[in-house]
Structure 1
Amino acid sequence: MEKITSRLSTNMNPSSDKQSEPERHASPLGGGYPPAESSSIRMEVVDDQIFSMSDIDPILDAKMRLVNQTMDEIGWTNFHLKLFFLNGFGYAADSLILALQAVTASQAALEFSPSFAYALNVSVYTGMLVGVLFWGLGADVIGRRFAFNVSIFCSSIFAIIAGASPNWIVLATFVGLAAFFAGGNLVLDTTVFLEFLPGNKQWLITLMACWWGLAYVIVAAFCWPIFSTPSLTCAVSDGCIKKNNMGWRYVWYGNGALVLICSILRVTVIRLTETPKYLLTKNQDAAVVEVFQNLANKYQRPCSLTIEGLQSLGTIESTYGKARYGLGEFWAHIRGLFATKQLGISTIMIWASWTLIGLAYPLFYVFLPDYLATRGAQTGQSGPYYQWRNYMLSSIAGVFGPVAAGFMCNLKPLGRKYTMAIGAIVTMAFFFAYTAVRTSAENVGFSCAISFSLNIYYGTLYAYTPESLPSAHRATGNGIGVACNRVMGLVSSFVAAYGNTSSSVPIYAVVAVMLPFEPYGKRAM
């Protein structure tokens, strides 16, 4: 270990032998590594990394710190700004598919008269469950770039086709396929963005969740005028045919086309290369340096990282399975999420958080149009105009939840964990208050408040998850967490059909406070 630490210092600063003793081992990239006499690399970490891998693979740990420092040296560029917007499209695509099936299901059901009205909800969550597992593991095996470029494009195609469905079964099939690709993309957006970000901008992962809420605003903008037009919708199932019920189809066509445009922009504007941290875990040191040198040259930034500097640290061995494309690789990524006791506890608690919030979120958001219609009728403001106006307002409020979360999680007293806890507790209060709504103003106000506070929690959890997982296994761990969420989304379909959707007690607030890692002010590995 002393050898690795010494190399890390001298390779980053060739002139170190000319410096005075106190400065000899300081890296020009900042962060200062300990002298070669140090008994363990572990001594370098502890304050600037979320967790250390030095006990498991000191070479991986040392190389990852070197890459993090290079990212900090290059800093924020227009490339990162493009990633924020184009990755945000992927966030929006995921929630867009969820929202589309929710807002169109009732009109499509009037036309097709299905035996199980919540089949689309089952289909969309099944598709997202399978998709997030498939693409999550795939991103750790074959890389982030291919999945990033393909997933959202395929989702848009199937979304457009869904609008032309001739019956309920075909509609459910294409909704599920659109969800399969969109759900997988959700894992990649945070992973790709995080693996290029300098440390002082990691809070943007939380802010990026505002794109999730923006998708609901887009859907509402389509639905409000279309579903308020009698000639485009049916009021009852009798006589409801395609000709006089084109509204829900137009919503699918329009939003699918929008996602298609976004997917084309992602390929043509960003021209994404593979992420440097993925390349690093696969021992492609030359490719890592090439990515950073190209970025530095394009934006005229310094980059001190060299191939010799990385290769002299050794070869990473802890990120592979015995069979690259078999079960051995899968189990290697699972084991990597439990490499240390603390990391294992963190992984389990993250998955528990996703599971618990997975019931509350869809019971509110997926069935929000039904809530608003029911409450509107009770308060004297019934009809499509008021229903979709209120949906638009609550969706706009939801956009600002992650904005508030991005500000809160960057405050030292709060950090990520307490931001999530506050969002959960406030949401609980508004959930209970919503059951007592008696006026139209209360209906709008409380639905907006829930939308805002729930997205504080959700946006922070979306960021906390990839930040607190090791890079080599990040997409797998993130994918399983979101998959737990999708399982509960499936449960919500049956709760809505046979149970009570009125409120949920956020046990996840307690789980948030108990999470072992606090990413505030620290670097993701």
Structure 2
Amino acid sequence: MFVMITYENVFLRWFLSLIHIAQTLDEIGWTPYHLKLFFLNGFGYAVDALQLSLQGIIATQAVYEFQPSYETGLTIAVYTGMLVGALFWGLSADIFGRKVAFNVSLFICAVFTIVAGAAPNWGSLGFFIALSAFGAGGNLVLDTTVFLEYLPSNKQWLVIWLAAWWGVGCTIAGLVAWGFMLPDVWQSIANYSCSNPNAAPFTPCTKANNSGWRYLMYTMGAMIFAMSLARVTVIRLKETPKFLLGQGEDAKVIEGFQELASKYDRPCSLTVEQLEACGTISSAHSKSRFSIGEFWIHIRSLFMTKEVAFTTLLIWLSWSMIGLAYPLFNVFLPSYLASRGIEFGITSTYETWRNYALVQVCGIFGPMIGGHMANWRFLGRRYTMIIGAVITMAFFFAYSQVTSQVENITYSCVISFTLEIYYGTLYGYTAEVLPSAHRATGNGIAVAFGRLMGVMSAVIATVANTATTGPIFICGALYGGLAICAFLFPFEPYGRRAS
């Protein structure tokens, strides 16, 4: 939350020190270092989206090969892994720093994505997918935190733009799957996907004739590994100045600023003496970092006042609702497209996956528009979320009434675009309004609520059946609720420096 001055000296000292940090970030301004951060943090968004998309893409073919199996089981596995990952990486980033998590999370994800491609049975596949999701699960927490804590105040809206990488990740997954799993795209490649073994005529589905999904996992795992290498070679990330400030490391804060300013020939007037003049800031930790007390400090600080507590609860509620609405549409999108295609006489898997790729491409541009809208004085973050949620709700209800394949694709593309206006802005808003010393914890819990509801989406999708319009109506109603939550938020970050 924007740090509030109270009569307690600790808050006053923290507030004054943050003013100095923010002024120095503004003094240095936007540099090539920030551009590198945008791409490297964007990789985390892309990988998070990849993990969610991959399990939805491979589920059907994996079910054909492994018996007995439960098709939505992979959805439960990936969301469970991401739930644990969000909590673990979020809390550890506030306790031990952003740097370690930033450097190793993608590597863990890459290793287990590749291993999942070699899974010998259904149980091991779900287990390895959960582990890869654990590695990816903290990226939505870390990416916004690291990027925001280095940004000058007039560029804070770029945190919303990070969500464009989400659409990039989904698009990459769809395009690669389109090639590996569908033989009618590349006629020179053998048939890498088997048909339903329960359909006549009976054809056993084995690893030998169903390797497309495995090749997809190997390829995506290799790409994620390349991203993890880029994070430790393209840029040598140092701890963010706001995290160091919370540790009482004034000298390291100044050292980092001076190094950045010197490298890009920018002014930096802040000195250690100026920070020390604000008073001594003790570490934002308990006596033992491996204790319940440490965890409680970070949780309690998210409820320091009534307004702060209300905002925290609304953020967590919003993430819970979007956590249910998003997978009910996006993760099960192939099912919607295929069922609607059959209804309109389109049975080609080629067209189904082509349409999937088109829908994901449209999602790339939603956060870009949302970022610019959120930077307009008369809209800000809150009204941008309201507009994005209301428009998305309207198109969800309209989608339930489509009568042709053209309408099917058109509405799906528009929904993908508008929901990312809301989603991308929520990402940025969450990071901006949480206190820096506890930002990753609060953000991690918010994302974890979203993941928990993602698990529930698999259950609802089974009961409601993704081949019907039931989940579509649920999504529409949820976006209406998200608009109400955005209206009730007490803080508007536009024109204000994040803590």
Q: TM-score surpassing 0.5? A: yes
| 1:477 and 2:451 aligned | no
State the match for 1:204 in structure 2. Answer: 158
Q: Following TM superposition, by how much is the alpha carbon of 1:303 offset from its aligned partner in structure 2, in angstroms? A: 0.4
Which residue identity lines up with residue 324 of structure 1 in the other structure?
Answer: R
1:167-218 CA-to-partner distances (Å, cap 9, x unmatched) read: 1111001100000010112210000000000000000000111001110110
Q: Following TM superposition, by how much is the alpha carbon of 1:343 offset from its aligned partner in structure 2, in angstroms? A: 1.2
State the match for 2:217 in structure 1. Answer: 252
State the match for 1:64 in structure 2. Answer: 18
How far, CA to CA, are the matches of 2:301 and 2:228 in structure 1? 32
Q: Following TM superposition, by how much is the alpha carbon of 1:318 offset from its aligned partner in structure 2, in angstroms? A: 7.5
* Aligned equivalent of 1:154, options 108, 112, 115: 108
| 1:388 and 2:325 aligned | no
How far, CA to CA, are the matches of 2:7 and 2:259 in structure 1? 33
State the match for 2:192 in structure 1. Answer: 232
How far, CA to CA, are the matches of 2:263 and 2:378 in structure 1? 38
Closer/same/farther in 2, CA of residues 362 and 55 from structure 1, 3 Å limit: farther
* Aligned equivalent of 1:502, options 465, 469, 472: 472
Q: How does 1:400-419 map to 2 (within 5 A)?
A: 400-419=365-384
Q: How does 1:207-222 map to 2 (within 5 A)?
A: 207-222=161-176
Q: Following TM superposition, by how much is the alpha carbon of 1:296 offset from its aligned partner in structure 2, in angstroms? A: 0.4
Count matched residues.
Answer: 477
Closer/same/farther in 2, CA of residues 386 and 53 from structure 1, 3 Å limit: farther
How far, CA to CA, are the matches of 1:113 and 1:274 in structure 2? 48
Closer/same/farther in 2, CA of residues 313 and 169 from structure 1, 3 Å limit: same
Closer/same/farther in 2, CA of residues 312 and 51 from structure 1, 3 Å limit: closer
State the match for 1:8 in structure 2. Answer: none
Q: How does 1:49-448 map to 2 (within 5 A)?
A: 50-55=2-7, 57-229=11-183, 231-237=191-197, 238-317=203-282, 319-448=284-413
Closer/same/farther in 2, CA of residues 356 and 53 from structure 1, 3 Å limit: farther
How far, CA to CA, are the matches of 1:520 and 1:119 in structure 2? 41
1:74-106 CA-to-partner distances (Å, cap 9, x unmatched) read: 000000000000100011111110100111111
State the match for 1:522 in structure 2. Answer: 496
Check whether the contact 2:63–2:69 (CA below 8 A) recurs between aligned residues: no
Normalization by structure 2: what TM-score?
0.94
Closer/same/farther in 2, CA of residues 51 and 307 from structure 1, 3 Å limit: closer
SS in 2 for 1:172: helix
Closer/same/farther in 2, CA of residues 482 and 299 from structure 1, 3 Å limit: same
Q: Following TM superposition, by how much is the alpha carbon of 1:393 offset from its aligned partner in structure 2, in angstroms? A: 0.6
Check whether the contact 2:2–2:435 (CA below 8 A) recurs between aligned residues: no
Closer/same/farther in 2, CA of residues 330 and 53 from structure 1, 3 Å limit: farther
Check whether the contact 2:385–2:422 (CA below 8 A) recurs between aligned residues: yes
SS in 1 for 2:303: coil
Which residue identity lines up with residue 292 of structure 2 in the other structure?
Answer: L
Q: Following TM superposition, by how much is the alpha carbon of 1:223 offset from its aligned partner in structure 2, in angstroms? A: 1.4
Q: State, as a whole percentage, how many aligned pairs show the same letter.
A: 54
Normalization by structure 1: what TM-score?
0.89
Check whether the contact 1:121–1:493 (CA below 8 A) recurs between aligned residues: yes
Which residue identity lines up with residue 173 of structure 1 in the other structure?
Answer: F
Q: Following TM superposition, by how much is the alpha carbon of 1:55 offset from its aligned partner in structure 2, in angstroms? A: 4.4
Alignment gaps of 5+ in structure 1 = 1-48
How far, CA to CA, are the matches of 2:290 and 2:268 in structure 1? 34
SS in 2 for 1:242: coil
Check whether the contact 1:141–1:325 (CA below 8 A) recurs between aligned residues: no
SS in 1 for 2:137: helix
Check whether the contact 1:227–1:384 (CA below 8 A) recurs between aligned residues: no
* Aligned equivalent of 2:454, options 477, 489, 497: 489
Closer/same/farther in 2, CA of residues 55 and 180 from structure 1, 3 Å limit: farther
How far, CA to CA, are the matches of 1:377 and 1:251 in structure 2? 26
* Higher mean C-alpha deviation, range 310-319 or range 157-166: 310-319
Check whether the contact 1:369–1:388 (CA below 8 A) recurs between aligned residues: yes
Q: Following TM superposition, by how much is the alpha carbon of 1:312 offset from its aligned partner in structure 2, in angstroms? A: 2.1
RMSD of equivalent CA atoms? 1.2
Alignment gaps of 5+ in structure 2 = 185-190, 198-202, 465-469
* Higher mean C-alpha deviation, range 395-404 or range 224-233: 224-233
How far, CA to CA, are the matches of 1:369 and 1:398 in structure 2? 15
Check whether the contact 2:261–2:268 (CA below 8 A) recurs between aligned residues: yes
